[in-house]
A and B are shown apart, each in its own frame.
Chain A
Amino acid sequence: MSTTWETVIGLEIHTQLSTQSKIFSGASTAYGAEPNTQACAVDLGLPGVLPVLNEAAVEKAVMFGLAIDAHIAPRSVFARKNYFYPDLPKGYQISQMDLPIVGNGHMDIEVDGETKRIGITRAHLEEDAGKSLHESFHGMSGIDLNRAGTPLLEIVSEPDMRSAKEAVAYMRKLHELVRYLGICDGNMQEGSFRCDANVSVRPVGQKEFGTRVEIKNINSFKFVEKAINHEVERHIELIENGGKIVQETRLYDANKDETRSMRSKEEANDYRYFPDPDLLPVVITEDFKAQVKTTLPELPEAKKQRFKDQYQLDNESATILTSSRPLADYFESVVVESKCEAKLCANWVTGELSAALNKADLEITDSPVTASQLAGLLARISDDTISGKIAKQVFEELWQTPDSTADSIIEAKGLKQITDTGAIEAVIDQIIAANGKQVEQYRGGNDKVFGFFVGQVMKAMQGKANPAEVNKMLMAKLKA
């Protein structure tokens, strides 16, 4: 008899808050500078220096808390987390322990058409450490403290996820949210958004959690899914073979697609947290909260609903269009500027434009075709200046030619749709005269031949004839 296993997952996600300066010093947080050029006396932990809290980091944490409908602590406290490591200059990390700034919120995810609520236990502010570089120092290690003191918001979920798929959905949703809020650039390559996963399994129906293992630093959506699935398999195999899971921290090796032990519970540090006496408690007043609330952008869920209501979009289009704030903004600009039907705009943004961006591996913010340019194009479809087919040709031209407009391309290439009934009629008459056999077939009841005539007319007019007009006139002529 084989047991059916249930997977239990909780995620801890470190988001780098996109502040100009560090959480406790005035040094810049910009990524990619020469090693140790963005570490001031405070970041270096020189004797005598003191931390001063960057209010922008607090504001961003509060924004996040409001966005997940969480409790914002009226008083939160920074604590020292003590451990020795060369890239941790003070020998302790300033973090929050007992009294985090954000507590008890939630976020809804959607997996296979089902909505599920994931609890968020807490989110706390802390400083990042520097980086140890182990290559090319002749058996020594190099330390780069540029990152030391970068503000982080560590977001801890409840163990509410039951599959790697749900974990990825949660992570994506969170990723989308922090970028929406503008509190994190979400750049996973640069480590702005990092994930640790707590994974355990238990027989279906069992109440108690199994022994959990923490998988550290999984820095892509793909790896999160793979690492969790791998770990779950390892657990089940081990237990079914009579083994026992040890509580430990493991590292995921993406190259080998496996996890390996980093340290066991016994080897775990005693961090000796205690309130940092150099910093005052962070007091959040109702006024401050209200003020931050006014700066909150429309959140993804609300925007999606609005897109459905206001633009009559289906769920799929609305979901895609609201998956990032720049994309949603782009879409809305196109609607406003083109004055076209929203459906047409949505089709073009999620269709032609998205395909072109994907192919060129570009973000919407780097699109060669701006919202104004696309709006100009769609307006010409709408007013029958060009057909949808010709529009695709114009779009390609717009993509290739910076600063061009749909109108200038239509003009230069003579792509304007012919709606002059006289001109169309002349062509139709010619085609009917030249294809007597097909005329007879049609009149004999073969409706399919109608398409042949449309094709011939369009071909003769280089695709520029108004298709509706062609249909109408052809129908009349052939029936005559």
Chain B
Amino acid sequence: MHTKTINQLAQGLRSGEFSSVELTQHFLQRIRQHESLNAFITVTEGLALQAAQAADQRIASGDASLLAGIPIAQKDIFCTLGVKTSCGSKMLDNFIAPYNATVVEKFNHAGAVMLGKLNMDEFAMGSSNETSFYGPARNPWDTQTVPGGSSGGSAAAVAAGLAVAATGTDTGGSIRQPAAFCGITGLKPTYGRVSRYGMIAYASSLDQGGPMTRTAEDAAILLQTMAGFDAKDSTSADLPVPDYPAALNQPLAGLKIGLPKEFFGEGLDSGVAAVLETAISEYRKLGAEVADISMPNLNMAIPAYYVIACAESSANLSRYDGVRFGYRCESPVDLTDLYTRSRGEGFGKEVKRRILMGTYALSAGYYDAYYLKAQKVRRLISQDFQQALAQVDVIMSPVTPTTAFGIGAKMDDPIAMYLADIYTIAINLAGVPAMSVPAGFSGGMPVGLQIIGNHFTEDRLLNIAHQYQQVTDWHQQTPTL
């Protein structure tokens, strides 16, 4: 049951093959069985079974959406009413959200069953899930390796069949990189496509929620529910949402694919490169034309990203001060003590590092050299994408330079860790949508293909991924657990 697609499960629920309660129990059982993957921070068994019962009634009455009764899980960055929402941090270990994020609200409305809250890097700051206060989730393909991050719990859970699908968020690659490492499909939508209300902010101008699923078709179904304007988020796009599932079956003949040479140069693992080459040739067979292109400013993406993301996060994380909610140190003697110890004890090392970097970049005398300069670089990178996407329909590239690395391998070397996001970060700076699609294996570990499109072309990206998944079966591979 745990390898079926949403459409197959929806059919099973309607034909009476199984109920949502049974399906939910099956997944709860698997979650317990694979606890060692550490994919979940919180399992909401009681709520899940209640929701499943309600979904069964809705399905029986014939008044149910496609997602009704489908067990999914939420990254623990989305606020869930009455349920602990930790954001992977000690700071929010005691935080029971008093409201639902818009994304959660939409899934609830559709009747989806929430199994629980998924592990993640603390405040989404990390590429390996190792900065989580709850310890790293593990990669189901090799539990000695990381699942990627920050949405590592989401990727591990979907890959291991602990949930049909999951939500993730992506600030610099946090959906795509773990999707690639764990061999699942992940979509980072256009900035503004999915409401950020109730999604705990890391870097507000880059954060974007999206689906993490086994197939492109499932991703289309999830995105259909997640996307759309939200009056509570001023940065959400007030544009109509296309019918994503309906767009999946367009033929790819004549599709123009661009391969930026900057994405295929030094640092790319040869095994990963070989997988990508095969994947591209598969697209040729589907009728696509492939062209080499250049995006000269991509080399500046990582420094620009770390200035902008850290600057924004330094302000976003100021609210965790021990005053109104979250962690508060024991017996503070005065206000300064309350602040310094609550924040000093409540935040982990990587979070503190980024707050310090961001504070520095915004400081008097440094603002122009760092923050403003980074914004200029951001515009240049955006222009690179616009120019490239004027020549081709989509850009394809690796998601990561290597397959999943070992737990602990990069924890002492933040620069090496930051470089792991080299192919994903520029996309967030440009605000365009991108997907990670399972494209094969290297050394027994999954490799992802990145497909990048222009703003609000998620329908096209999903279509391109789906067509590939019609002629390959990489997305159907499952790890032996």
Contact = CB atoms under 8 A, between A and B. Distances in A.
B318 A91 contact: yes
Interface stretch (A251-259, A269-277, A290-298, A424-432): A269-277
Interface in A50-79: 50-53
B319 A277 contact: no
Residue among A44, A80, A143, A274 with the highest chain B CB neighbour number at 10 A? A274
Contacts of B321: 84, 86, 91
Contacts of A280: 234-235
A49 interface: yes
B407 to A, nearest CB: 28
Interface string B172-204: 000000000000000000000000111111011
Contact of B319 (A45, A143, A270, A278): A45
Contacts of B324: 44-45, 89, 143
Given A46-B99, A47-B87, A52-B234, A274 B362 contact: yes
Contacts, number: 100
A47 B319 contact: yes
B234 A279 contact: yes
Contacts of A84: 318, 321, 339
Interface string A271-314: 01110011110000000000000000000000000000000000
A41 interface: yes
Interface residues of B, number: 43
A50 B233 contact: yes
A53 B200 CA distance: 20
B231 A52 contact: yes
B205 interface: yes
If over half of A's interface residues share one DSSP class (helix, strand or loop), that class is named, otherwise mixed; here it is loop
Interface in A319-359: none
A92 interface: yes
Given A53-B234, A86-B323, A277-B312, A47 B200 contact: yes
Contacts of A53: 234
Residue among B85, B101, B314, B323 with the highest chain A CB neighbour number at 10 A? B323
B319 A91 contact: yes
Interface residues of A, number: 28
B273 interface: no
A90 interface: yes
Interface in B227-246: 231-235
A278 B92 contact: no
A450 B282 CA distance: 122
B319 A90 contact: yes
Contacts of A278: 201, 204, 234-235
Nearest to B95: A47
A46 B363 contact: no
Contact of B359 (A51, A90, A272): A272
A220 interface: no
A50 B233 CA distance: 6
B396 interface: no
A273 B95 CA distance: 29
Contacts of A92: 315, 318
A85 to B, nearest CB: 9
A150 B199 CA distance: 24
Contacts of B234: 50-53, 278-280
Residue among B321, B363, B371 with the highest chain A CB neighbour number at 10 A? B321
25 contacts: A46-B98, A47-B201, A47-B325, A48-B78, A50-B234, A52-B232, A52-B234, A53-B234, A82-B318, A82-B362, A84-B318, A84-B339, A86-B321, A86-B335, A143-B323, A143-B324, A274-B311, A274-B362, A274-B367, A274-B371, A277-B312, A278-B204, A278-B234, A278-B235, A279-B235
Interface of B: 78-79, 85, 87, 92, 95, 97-99, 101, 196-201, 203-205, 231-235, 311-312, 314-315, 318-319, 321, 323-326, 335, 339, 359, 362-364, 367, 371
Given A53-B234, A89-B324, 15 more contacts: A44-B325, A46-B325, A47-B200, A47-B201, A52-B234, A89-B319, A90-B315, A272-B367, A274-B311, A274-B315, A274-B371, A277-B203, A277-B235, A278-B235, A279-B235
The 5 closest A-B pairs by CB, nearest first: A91-B318, A277-B205, A272-B362, A277-B204, A48-B198
